[in-house]
Amino acid sequence: MTTMTDSSVREFKMPDVGEGLTEAEILKWYVEPGDTVTDGQVVCEVETAKAAVELPIPYDGVVRVLHFPEGSTVDVGTSIIAVGVGDGAAAAAEPVQEAVADTPATTEAEEPKPEGRQPVLVGYGVSTSSTRRRPRKGAKDPAAAQEVSAAIQAEMNGHGPSAPATPAAPSAGDRPLAKPPVRKLAKDLGVDLATVVPSGPDGVITREDVHAAVAPAPGEASGAAPAAVAPAPSPAAPASYDTARETRVPVKGVRRATAAAMVGSAFTAPHVTEFVTVDVTRTMKLVEELKQDKEYTGLRVNPLLLISKALLVAIRRNPEVNASWDEAAQEIVVKHYVNLGIAAATPRGLIVPNIKDAQAQTLPQLAGSLGELVSTAREGRTSPAAMQGGTVTITNVGVFGVDTGTPILNPGESAILAVGAIKLQPWVHKGKVKPRQVTTLALSFDHRLVDGELGSKVLADVAAVLEQPKRLISWA
């Protein structure tokens, strides 16, 4: 096998495809060792906590090795694919490594560090900060640090002395270095990370370090000789269940992020939900008329279009509802723009992309934006940016035949409107009972931002526009 050199092999690292994301799952590889790739070619699809994203390679060359198989969750900054460039591309004609390595290669050279910010994704860029951890304060003697690390490794492998040198815990002035999952583990076990001795590279605390901190130390009895290290307890066997009667589905990616967000929202923002049942017969007639209008040819025209416009009109009449809560400053932040979120069910879970500055769009423009948003979500191609910065949301539960519900706020937003099924019902119209198209609207709002009066006005305005769509003109 040809030796990989700095000039012949480039290592492509998992980029931060959102804002501050720490990991992503590799869903699918589109290349394998020996394939020729060009700059900008998509080589894999990954799923973060926010969306599925395709990753283009920023090099021309030949694939040498894929460091992780499909289904692996990889930390941002970790190399996922090695590409031979220049001499390395020619050498790739020789037998290459297996299609997927068990662990990231450690002997291959990494790509030279670029100067400044280098884009690695269409529409995204790498973080300006280095992926390497900063050195821990006080670690000024590399030789001593190496000796301590070797002692720890020897003890872990069972080959070290009975009482190896113990590295010092971080000083009080240092902030312990640990990944979020390790910090959560420490919190759950009641461990102060400041007292934990790190064994990871550059002073990073690992899960094993946290577990070691709560395990009883050998030879604690005064004057007693150091006792033999007790073998680590074997992990508890997973709970058994009847696979014919139960199926367990791992919760990760978008589903895990949605679950965490909904729990956080439900127990952070004080929710209030109000309901109104409204005759939308005239709105349904207008929808049919717009479908025949040449200006809407090729556009998605449905009740959701007019419901969205009705909510935008209601917000314009009651701008205080379009706000967010600043916990740190204890302030209400009123937004002078509306990023209208539309809840969309996808194979990977519920996502809420939003239409930026929806308040400035005409009805045909809004129809085009809604159509693009829905089709992109169904294809699983919604970008993380499209799901950030929403102010209010609409969720159409009526498409499932549901009459109404009590929706939970999208985190950071002030209100969410649920639209129930539109169906013929007996209704008193002009003094007589007639079959009319009727639906029920439910508006949930954050009671820190929106009091009962304001919430009622917004819901009443939405209902009034849907009952008499000519108000879209008179209230404009």
Tell me, what DSSP letter sits at residue 102? S
Rounded to the nearest 10°, the torsion over CA 315, 321, 325, 330 is 130
**How far from 405 is each of 175, 269, 392, CA to CA, in Å?**
45, 18, 17
Calculate ∠ Cα 119-125-126, nearest 5°: 100
8 A C-beta contact, residue 92 and residue 38: no
Q: Is the dihedral of CA 316, 318, 319, 324 positive or negative?
A: negative
Phi-psi label, residue 125: left if phi above 0, alpha if psi -120 to 50, beta otherwise = beta
Task: Report d(CA 5, CA 86) in Å as an integer.
Answer: 11
Unique residue bearing structure tokens 């070691």: 212
Hey, is 325 helix, strand or coil? strand
- φ and ψ at residue 70, rounded to 5 degrees: -60, 140
Task: Report d(CA 210, CA 194) in Å as an integer.
Answer: 11
8 A C-beta contact, residue 377 and residue 341: no
Q: How far from each other are the two terminal CA atoms of the chain, in whole angstroms?
A: 71
Q: Is 447 a catalytic residue?
A: yes
Task: Please tell me which residue in 67, 336, 429, 447 is annotated as part of the active site.
Answer: 447
Q: Where are the extended beta strands (E) located within 398-472?
A: 415-419, 423-429, 432-446
Task: Report d(CA 205, CA 217) in Å as an integer.
Answer: 18
**How far from 264 is each of 106, 385, 408, 417, CA to CA, in Å?**
39, 21, 10, 19
- φ and ψ at residue 132, rounded to 5 degrees: -80, 145
Question: Could you give the residue numbers annotated as active site?
Answer: 447
